[in-house]
Amino acid sequence: MSSSLSPSVPLNDGNSIPVLGFGVFKVPPADTEQAVSTALQAGYRHIDTAAMYGNERETGRAVAASGIPRDELYLVTKLWNSEQGYDSTLAAFDLSMDRLGIDYLDLYLVHWPMPKRNKFIDTFRAFAHLRDQGRVRSIGVSNFEPEHLTALVDATGIVPAVNQVELHPRLPQTELREVHARLGIATEAWGPLGQGSLLTNPAVTAVAERHGRTTAQVLIRWHIQLGNIVIPKSVNPERIASNFDVFDFELSESDMASISSLDDGNRLGPDPRTFDFTGR
Ligand code: NAD
């Protein structure tokens, strides 16, 4: 087992979050226990799942089998769109916790704002209730645009601890990150490797060759040095381990700039302003 763990950064509620975590989107349930076990052995302590991924139960099995004390782990799941609303959120949370097999969660995220439904404020009020009960340590959101954040803060008086958004060199979310900095919200990057599409990019490859590192490691460093929380996904044991092996080198300002020059506003996922999907 790795002796070095990811550094953590403080959140606006007094808790802290490991900057490098392991994401399990699209990891089939049959592969999830093995993948999460491999990640925990490699040193990851922060695991990012979601009710919608259909692998909370297998994630929980790997956590239980690891024998790692609960207070050394950082577990995150997300409320799926179909469950938005106060009472439905409380019920969905209980089901997620049963599947994960834990008695408190480190971070609960509203998966998408779904603005047409106009339920994210009631949903977040239920999150605040869960936090007040001590069942969730930190509450946050995902895929929220500035207007959704403003509406949420105005209505509830609570600033989410985290906003997890699509973020990679082609979509660096510069304006949103400025809004986060102003409000005190931590920025978390999903699709940090461009869902794999940036791993053969020539600009990233040039930096990787200069450092004798993989392109994935360089992209993960780019996120960490920008101040993002980052949750790359892989099911390959060597890649899971090498993606975590990023704390012994540093990108220069010019490395950072050449990767940041890839910004072309390209979004891989749906637009949160119009996304209105409750299926699975
Ligand atoms: P990612 O950018 O992490 O890319 C994953 C892809 O890169 C996979 O195909 C994987 O096989 C490949 N890969 C990873 N490491 C590699 C390596 N070292 N060498 C070669 N290939 C490698 O994309 P992602 O999984 O979409 O995002 C990461 C996590 O973010 C997810 O697992 C999930 O937890 C979260 N996420 C959240 C949302 C949301 O709406 N909140 C949406 C998508 C993903």
Give the model confidence (pLDDT) of 146-198 as tens digits. 999 999 999 999 999 999 999 999 999 999 999 999 999 999 999 999 999 99
Separation of CA 235 and ligand 1 centre (Å): 10
Cα–Cα dist 36/226, whole Å:
26
Percent of the chain with pLDDT over 90: 98
186: left (phi over 0), alpha (psi -120 to 50) or beta: beta
Helical packing angle, 202-211 and 215-226, nearest 10°: 90
Protein residue with its CA nearest to atom 9 in ligand 1: 196
- 100 pLDDT band, cuts 50/70/90, is very high
pLDDT tops 70 at residue 44: yes
Does residue 51's CB lie within 6 angstroms of at least one atom of ligand 1?
no
Does residue 268's CB lie within 6 angstroms of at least one atom of ligand 1?
no
Protein residue with its CA nearest to atom 25 in ligand 1: 233
Does residue 245's CB lie within 6 angstroms of at least one atom of ligand 1?
no
Percent of the chain with pLDDT over 70: 99
pLDDT tops 80 at residue 4: no
Does residue 169's CB lie within 6 angstroms of at least one atom of ligand 1?
no
Give the model confidence (pLDDT) of 213-230 as tens digits. 999 999 999 999 999 999
Protein residue with its CA nearest to atom 11 in ligand 1: 234
Q: What is the mean pLDDT of the chain?
A: 97
pLDDT tops 50 at residue 2: no
Helices (H) and strands (E) in the chain, counts: 10, 10
108 CB contacts (<8 Å, ≥6 apart)? 76, 77, 78, 79, 93, 127, 130, 136, 138, 139, 140
Does residue 57's CB lie within 6 angstroms of at least one atom of ligand 1?
no
Q: The pTM is what?
A: 0.98
3-state helix, strand, coil in the chain (%, to 5): 45, 15, 40
pLDDT tops 90 at residue 266: yes
Does residue 228's CB lie within 6 angstroms of at least one atom of ligand 1?
no
Average pLDDT value for residue range 88-117: 98
Under 8 Å between Cβ of 168 and 260: no
Least confident segment among 4-8, 121-125, 202-206: 4-8
What value does the CA radius of gyration of the chain take, rounded to a whole number of Å? 18
Protein residue with its CA nearest to atom 7 in ligand 1: 196
Q: For ligand 1, pick from 221, 233, 238, 278 the residue to mutate: most ligand atoms within 8 Å of CB.
A: 233
pLDDT at 1: 40
- 280 pLDDT band, cuts 50/70/90, is confident
Asked about 53 being catalytic, the answer comes back as yes
Separation of CA 265 and ligand 1 centre (Å): 19
pLDDT at 3: 47
Does residue 270's CB lie within 6 angstroms of at least one atom of ligand 1?
no
Give the model confidence (pLDDT) of 104-130 as tens digits. 999 999 999 999 999 999 999 999 999
Residue (of 37, 36, 51) closest to 89 by Cα position? 51
pLDDT tops 50 at residue 95: yes
Which of the residues 53, 74, 86, 104 is marked catalytic?
53
Tell me the residue ranges of DSSP E strands in the chain: 8-10, 16-18, 22-23, 46-48, 74-79, 105-110, 136-142, 162-166, 186-190, 229-230
